[in-house]
Amino acid sequence: MTERPPTSLRAARQMIAFAWRADRLRALASAILVTVQALAGSLFALWLGLFVDGAIGHHHTETLLAGLAIAFSIVAIAGVDYAGSRVRMTLTDRTYHLLERRLLALVGHTPTLEIQENPEHLRQLELFRNEAWEFGEAVPSLINAANTVIRIVLTAVLLASVSPLLLLLPLFGLPALLLSGRTSNLYSLGNERAAEPSRRASMLYELATDREAAKELRLFRLQRELLTRFAAEHQQIRRIHVSLQIRGQLFRLISRTVFLVGYLGSIVLVTHQAAVGAASVGDVVLTAVLSGQVLGLVAGSAELTQWLLRTLTAAGRYLYLEDVALATGSAKRELASDLIDKPLPAGVPDQSGVPDRLSDGIRLEHVTFGYPGRPEPTLRDVSLTLPAGVTVAIVGDNGAGKTTLVKLLAGLYRPQHGTIRVEGTDLAELDAEAWRLRISAGFQDHARFEFAVQQTVGIGDLSAVDDPDAARTALDRAGALDLLEALPDGLDTQLGPSWPDGIDLSGGQWQKLAIGRAMMRSAPLLLLLDEPTAAIDAESEHQLFARWTRAAGEIRRRSGAITVLVSHRFSTVRMADLIVVLRDGGIAELGSHDELIAADGLYAELFELQARAYR
Amino acid sequence: MPAVFAALVGVLVGHLPGVVRDGFGSAAGHRVILALVLVAVTLVVQELVGATLEIIATDLYRRFDGYLLGRVMTAAFRRQDLRLQDDPELAAQLGRAVRVAQFGPGELISGISAQWTVKAEGLAAAVLVGYYWPVAAVVLVVLWFVVGRALQSSYYRAQPFWTDPLRRARYLQLIGLMPQWAKELRIFGLADWIVEKFSREWSAVMGQLWRARRADYRVMTVLGLIVLAAHLVIVLLLARAASSGALSVAAVTVVAQGLFAMAALASQNGDVWIENGAVPVPDVLELERSVTPDSAPGAPADGMPRATIAFQGVDFRYPGRDTPVLTDFDLRIEAGTSLAIVGLNGAGKTTLVKLLTGLCRPDRGLITVDGVDLSTLDIVSWRRRLAVIFQDFLRYELPLRDNIAFGAVESPGDDAAVLEVAERAGAAELVAALPEGTTTTLSPRYSGGVDLSGGQWQRIAFARALMAVRSGAGVLVMDEPTAHLDVRAEADLFDRFLQLTEGLTTIVISHRFSTVRRADRIVVLDGGRIVEDGSHEELVERNGQYGRLFRLQAENYVTDND
């Protein structure tokens, strides 16, 4: 496997630390209960041996005491098992939640899109989510491991008390332990081999049951095809696992047989000693029962090792993601968010260096940016000045680098070469979160936040997230008041059909809400509009842009605010003060509409292509 | 097996004093040796059975997982129309079944297997104890059974929290982590807000769960004390019997081990799995009960439409919605012509397509094809006549070949056919650039797979529709076919519009005038009715809604050169 990134030891240490922080009381209780359980389990054999000897030798007091111990042991083991599992369940829940919460904060505070756009990071993130259950087992399996260790030690002591030769018994268990690593590898090999079929199977399942996909699947009559393919993928997954499992079980069988030889040998040994009078009958009972437990312990510790490795691999994913997040610059501020029951400390991004207004504007100096895995950079050596107070339109063919430019301005990407300067300050030196408090954005591939409309729009400005007036004003600016009127509960309408009373919106309607969200901040220094109106008709887009240009225009002029618009529609584009024409990652042309038409270059050509529809 | 083992240890112990007295050569000695051999056999058999059980149970687990998911898919497919998706109640039911089935019903198998194994051990132990001392066995079986039930019911109480209530917390987690939300999460600085909301949701649900779990500690304490008392009595009686010689040493050994093993009767081993596995089953069964199939045999639609498709006085309203989308709607579409439909968002354009394709049925009125009521036609046969590109067309994470050949699933054709339609859809260059040609998977999530841009996907979707046309579809329906194309690609496509739609009945829905104006006829929808109807020139001339919007836009494209 390519990953098993940080060491298991570090993962184990982290998990224990998390458990301790998540719930001290239960962590302590778990430890105590485990010890009691282990003691009671191992000592049962001792009591039983004493009981038998007592009975044979007619020592009444001894028999009675051993009997009492037996009764208490049985009930204690069951009781501790019950109590322990409850305590452990809650402890696990809390530990796991703490971890999720911490990861959420860490990833959420990474300034760039690094984690979400790097395929390997994203894969780890998805695995982390999918294997959540394994991950949740990390604490219990650590506890079980502790239990096993205690019992092994106790068992060894007791066996040694019968005959030191019996201490050789665990040696016969070595093959089982050694092979368990192999079996564990087989397990991950199976998961790896079955990964693509599994992914395909769940893709087919999601496709078949997706609400939006239902139309097309029916019209193209693909129902049976999908079912057949799904069944075939599952068949293959099973084949992969069964063949590997047979191999794994064979290994196991061999190693266990080795142990059985040792086990029988030890019984024969003690039986023989009893026969010659060197041991009591009680010792035989003790040995038989304890040795049987050794089998369980060896099997258990072999399985446990596998299990522990597996869960620690899952826990390792958290550490991997934590490392990546910290490396990408997450959480410059202290993450004291570790106690579940306490709210996060109020995070105030470092505002120093972020200007109150723009006079100089934003300058790109020799900016180059490429996506990992692509040979050619998407933007190459781009230098561009966005003067304060202007509206800038960016046009160009698909793949010319328009969206990349927008993301760079938002600080979602960092240039690989060159600098972006805001009022002369390098954007990389500003606190990304502080800079973003002064900008706003709307995207074509906007996010669907399935909250109540109020929050779906309101999160555009968290300081007014629950303010209905602010949301209404923003929706008005977005030209979406008619949509609001059509919703059954107005701003309180729950969005998303899978929630109780949630309603579904069309693509255009979702887009209008996204624009409304972008309009929540009334006077950002930089507004980025990356084709947010693609699903809306040309006239509405034109109106929207014209309205934005007029509304609060005075405030923007005074603060020197810049609006950047990406659009395919030249009816809107021509309104901009400055038009940037991108081609193949570079700036092909630059100027106002009239200048560019007069230049009769790429812009004029594209404009003419579109204009033909209107002649 | 453990019970057999315990019995053998009993035999061993029983004869040991004899061996001590007479040595291994005696009859007791032989028995001891026999017992030792049997112990060995027992343990080997136990191992073999364990290994086999493990293999079978795991495979069964996977099989069951696949089986239940397959049943959900089948249920989702049972209707040819979209009732299951459009009716809020049914949609909620489907959504729930779809979600819960993914939790892995196969755990049921592992759970039952684990549970039965421990229960069997416990029962075997009870038999052993019962052999020597029936009363003790019966009392303990009953006691452990009661304890087991009490433990189980507290698990059941915990269960309902797993699925729905935590969903909101899970959803918030997705928002915080996954790429779809990543840009806006950062732009608007939502990280802390999401974390707080996530924790609040989680704590609220888990608090309830913990309270539910806590409720039974008292009952359990009482039960525990009763069990303890019973054991004390039994063990004391046992000790007395042993001391007085009423029970042999062997019997005492067996009973004491049996008592220990009987605790397994109350074991909750595997219960959580059974619970998790069983949760989805009722939801799936309920879904299957609620979904009635709707496909009735009908007349074949081969060669249709030869003359017209007509909407006559059609009313339509989505289930659960107050306002109708269409009221008393009339429209005749001549076969072999092209029709464009324009109108504001929510004017009912896509609904028209759904009605025409039998995905929805009119509440009132009639849709006819060549005079035949659409509902009397065989729906599958009619759909074979249709080639549709929806605005939200599908992006199959499958090889390119499948993405295109899915246009004609009954007669997929060979690579040559795929390449031919790709060429016509303007996707030839794109296909040529694929690393593994037509077998390249169109998703970076698979080895050798590639990522396509929106514009590229749009061409693939177009090629899929053309594949349907190639295998005999006569009606081409395009819902915003150029939304993802850039200016140049869009212009290119529509330069070839007439060539591509030759001989077909074409229906195109679009905001873009460049797309719309090439159609033979344009209808403007507003409030579920046709408000304008005519060719582009006629409508511009008439200067209604269409003419006004066109002129407004056209003004923006006037240059000084004109």
Q: Tell me the per-residue pLDDT of B233-259, one tens digit each, with 9 for 90 and over.
A: 998 888 888 777 788 877 888 888 888
Inter-chain residue contact A615 with B231, CB threshold 8 Å: no
Please check the confidence at residue A2 and state whether its pLDDT lies above 70. Answer: no
Residues facing residue A393 across a β-bridge = A565, A579
The angle, 0 to 180 degrees and rounded to 10, between the axes of the packed helices A60-108 and A138-162 is 150
Binned at pLDDT 50, 70 and 90, residue A295 comes out as low
**Residue B160 pLDDT class (50, 70, 90 cuts):** low
pLDDT for the residue numbered A259: 81
User: What pLDDT score was predicted for residue A345?
Assistant: 55
In chain B, how long is the greatest CA-to-CA distance? 125
B552 or B320, which is more confident?
B552
- pLDDT at res. A552: 62
For residue A504, pLDDT beyond 90? no
Give the per-residue pLDDT at A3: 41
Among B9, B228, B488, whose Cβ lies nearest the Cβ of A288? B9
Task: Give the three-class secondary structure for B267.
Answer: coil
Contact A405, A394 (CB under 8 A): yes
**Does A340 score more than 70 pLDDT?**
no
CA–CA dist B234, A74 (Å, integer): 12
- Assess A339–B contact: CB distance below 8 Å, yes or no: no
- Between the CA of residue B27 and those of A219, B18, B20, what are the distances in Å? 83, 9, 12
The encoded tokens of residue B516 equal 């719309």
List the single residue in B with minimal CA-CA distance to A73.
B260
Mean pLDDT of A530-554: 78
Is 70 exceeded by the pLDDT of residue A205? yes
pLDDT digits (tens, 9 = 90+) for B518-560: 899 999 998 888 999 999 999 999 989 899 888 888 888 876 5
pLDDT confidence band for A336 (50 / 70 / 90): very low
Evaluate if residue A333 carries a pLDDT over 50: no
Integer CA distances (angstroms), B435 to A295, A371, A551, B447, B554, in order:
54, 19, 50, 11, 43
Rounded Cα gap, residues A305 and A301, in angstroms: 6
Q: Which of A50-64, A240-254, A331-345 has the highest mean pLDDT?
A: A240-254
Model pLDDT, residue B378: 94
Decide: helix, strand or coil at residue A355: coil
Per-residue model confidence as pLDDT tens digits over A154-194: 888 888 888 888 878 777 877 877 777 777 778 778 878 88
Average pLDDT of the residues in A325-349: 59
pLDDT average, residue stretch A367-382 = 87
A122: amino acid identity, one letter: L
Residue B73 reports pLDDT greater than 90:
yes
Nearest CA in chain A to B257: A48
β-strand pairing of A586-591 with A578-583: antiparallel
Task: Locate all alpha helices (DSSP H) within B446-535, ordered by sequence.
Answer: 454-470, 487-495, 497-500, 513-516
Q: Is the pLDDT of residue A615 over 50?
A: yes
Average pLDDT over residues A257-271: 83
Q: Given this model, what pLDDT does residue A407 score?
A: 94
pLDDT at A471: 96
Residue linked to tokens 């090629």: B463
Contact B178 A116 (CB under 8 A): yes
Cα–Cα dist B527/B525, whole Å: 7
For residue B382, count CB atoms less than 10 angstroms from its CB and return exposed for 0-12, middle for 13-18, buried for 19 or more. buried
Give the integer Cα–Cα distance in Å for B103 and B279.
9
What is the predicted pLDDT for the residue at B158?
A: 52
Say which residues have a Cβ less than 8 Å from residue B524's Cβ, sequence separation at least 6: B342, B343, B530, B531, B532, B533, B539, B544, B545, B546
- Pick the closest to residue B493 from B424, B395, B430, B422 (CA basis): B424
Does the distance separating the beta carbons of B199 and A506 come in below 8 Å? Answer: no
- B155 pLDDT more than 70: no
Could you tell me the strand order of the sheet in which B521-526 lies? B386-389, B475-479, B505-509, B338-343, B521-526, B529-534
Which DSSP letter does residue B305 get?
Answer: -
Query: Would you call B343 helix, strand, or coil by DSSP?
Result: strand
Reported as a single tens digit per residue, the pLDDT across A347-365 is 566 777 788 889 989 999 9
Report whether the peptide linkage leading into residue B481 is cis, meaning its omega lies within 30 degrees of zero: no
Helix (H, G, I), strand (E, B) or coil at B1: coil
Question: Measured between alpha carbons, how far is B9 from A315 in angstroms, rounded to an integer?
Answer: 43
Average pLDDT over residues B502-527: 88
Nearest-angstrom CA–CA distance, A366 and B118: 71
Least confident window among A566-575, B101-110, B394-403, B540-549: B101-110
In this structure, chain B runs to a length of 562
Name the residue with higher pLDDT: B301 or B413: B301
- Amino acid at residue number A281: V
Put simply, the answer to whether B263 touches A234 (Cβ < 8 Å) is no
Query: What per-residue confidence (pLDDT) applies to B244?
Result: 79
Query: In terms of pLDDT, which residue wins out, A87 or A391?
Result: A391
A341 Cβ partners below 8 Å, 6+ apart?
B203
Q: Residue A246: how many CB atoms within 10 A of its CB? A: 12
Residue range A4-53, pLDDT digits in tens: 445 677 878 878 888 888 888 888 888 888 888 888 887 888 888 888 88
Which of A52, A92, A196, A209 would best serve as a mutation to test chain B binding (most B beta carbons within 10 A)?
A209
Q: Does A459 touch chain B (CB under 8 A)?
A: yes
Q: Which helix (H) or strand (E) holds A556?
A: helix A553-559
Q: How confident is the model at residue B184 (pLDDT cuts 50, 70, 90)?
A: very high
DSSP string, A180-244: HHHHHHHHHHHHHHTHHHHHHHHHHHHHHH-TTTHHHHHHTT-HHHHHHHHHHHHHHHHHHHHHH
Torsion, CA B91, CA B93, CA B94, CA B97, rounded to 10:
160
What's the rounded Cα separation, in Å, for the pair A373 and B463?
A: 28
B259: which chain A residues are within 8 Å (Cβ-Cβ)?
70, 74
Q: What is the structure's pLDDT at B117?
A: 81
Tokens for B214?
Answer: 């806590």
Taking residues B176-201, what's their average pLDDT? 91
| Token representation of residue A340 | 């579940």
pLDDT at B19 over 60: yes
The band of A496, judged by pLDDT with boundaries at 50, 70 and 90, is confident
Most confident of A173-177, A310-314, A525-529: A525-529
| CB of A282 closer than 8 Å to CB of A52 | yes
CB-CB neighbors (< 8 A) of B125 in chain A = none
User: What span, in angstroms and rounded, lies between the C-alpha atoms of A296 and B449?
Assistant: 47
DSSP-based three-state secondary structure for A497: coil
Nearest to B487 among A89, A253, A610 (CB): A610
From residue A387, how far is each of A370, B108, B528 by CA, in Å?
26, 65, 47
Residue B120 has pLDDT above 80, yes or no: yes
How far is it, in rounded angstroms, from Cα B108 to Cα B100? 13
Task: Tell me whether residues B190 and A264 touch, CB distance under 8 A.
Answer: no
**Between chains, do A116 and B453 touch, taking CB under 8 Å as contact?**
no
What was the pLDDT predicted at B211? 77
- Closest residue in A to B144 (Cα) is A78
Task: Check B553 against A539: CB less than 8 A apart.
Answer: yes
On whether the CB atoms of residues B414 and A360 are closer than 8 A, the answer is no
Residues 142-181 of A with CB under 8 A from B: none
The shortest C-alpha distance from B242 to chain A (Å) reads 5
Instruction: Based on DSSP, count helices (H) and strands (E) in chain B, helices before strands.
Output: 24, 10
Residue B328 has pLDDT above 80, yes or no: yes
Q: What is the pLDDT of residue A317?
A: 80
Instruction: Say if the Cβ atoms of A75 and B227 lie within 8 Å.
Output: yes
Q: Does A113 touch chain B (CB under 8 A)?
A: yes
Residue range A189-218: average pLDDT? Answer: 90
A526-530 β-sheet, strand order: A439-443, A526-530, A562-566, A391-395, A578-583, A586-591
Question: Among B376, B552, B88, B178, which residue's Cα sits nearest to residue A501?
Answer: B88
Residue for token digits 């990280």? Answer: B191
Helix (H) / strand (E) element for B276: namely: helix B271-278
Whether A507 contacts B479, CB under 8 Å: no
pLDDT at A469: 96
Give the closest residue to B101 by CA, choosing from B288, B247, B246.
Answer: B288
What is the predicted pLDDT for the residue at A334?
45
| Contact predicate B175/B194, CB 8 Å | yes
What is the average pLDDT across A196-207?
Answer: 92
**Is A336 exposed, middle or buried (CB count within 10 Å of its CB: 0-12, 13-18, 19+)?**
exposed
CA closest to B391 among chain A residues: A507
C-alpha A132/C-alpha A468 separation (Å) is: 38
pLDDT at B446: 84
A507 or A334, which is more confident? A507
Distance of CA B168 to the CA centre of its chain: 18
Partner-chain contact A196 B447, CB within 8 Å: yes
The pair of structure tokens assigned to B451 is 């990522």
- Report pLDDT for B411: 87
The pLDDT value given to residue A337: 46
The residue that leads in pLDDT, B401 or A5, is B401
Q: Which residues of A touch B480 (CB under 8 A)?
A: 535
Give the ranges where B77-178 is alpha helix by DSSP (H): 83-86, 88-101, 107-132, 134-158, 167-177
Q: With a CB-CB cutoff of 8 Å, which residues 461-520 of chain A face chain B?
A: 461-462, 465, 486, 497-500, 506-509, 514, 517
Compare B168 and A314 and report the one with higher pLDDT. B168
Nearest to B23 among A104, A125, A275 (CB): A275
Residue in chain A nearest B410 by alpha carbon = A221
Interatomic CA distance for residues A33 and A41, integer angstroms? 12
* Mean confidence (pLDDT) of chain B: 86
Instruction: Give A323 to chain B, closest Cα distance, Å.
Output: 15
Q: Of A178, A180, A144, A177, give the one whose Cα is nearest residue A15.
A: A144
Q: What per-residue confidence (pLDDT) applies to A348?
A: 62
Counting residues of chain A whose pLDDT is more than 90, the rounded percentage is: 31
One-letter amino acid for residue A602 of the chain: L
Given B182, B196, B256, which is nearest A344 (Cβ)? B196
B445: pLDDT strictly greater than 60: yes
Of B74, B239, B514, the CB nearest to A613: B514
pLDDT exceeds cutoff 70 at B92? yes
Q: Give the per-residue pLDDT at B215.
A: 56
Residue B201 in this model has a pLDDT that exceeds 50: yes
Would you call B555 exposed, middle or buried from its count of C-beta atoms within 10 A (0-12, 13-18, 19+)?
exposed
Q: Are A245 and B242 inside 8 Å of each other by CB?
A: no
Kindly indicate the confidence band of residue B208, based on its pLDDT and cuts at 50, 70 and 90: confident
DSSP assignment of B218-259 equals HHHHHHHHHHHHHHHHHHHHHHHHHHHTSS-HHHHHHHHHHH
Find out whether B3 and B262 touch, Cβ atoms under 8 Å.
no
pLDDT value, residue A330 = 65
Partners of residue A227 in chain B, C-beta under 8 Å: 70, 73-74, 77
Letter for the amino acid at A67?
G
Task: Give contacts of A594 with chain B, Cβ < 8 Å.
Answer: 560
Interface touch B180/A74, C-beta < 8 Å: no
Contact B189 A242 (CB under 8 A): no
Residue B224 to residue A60, Cβ atoms within 8 A: no
Instruction: Report the chain B residue with the minimal C-alpha distance to residue A237.
Output: B62
- Residue whose C-alpha is closest to residue A4's, from A245, A184, A170, A198: A184
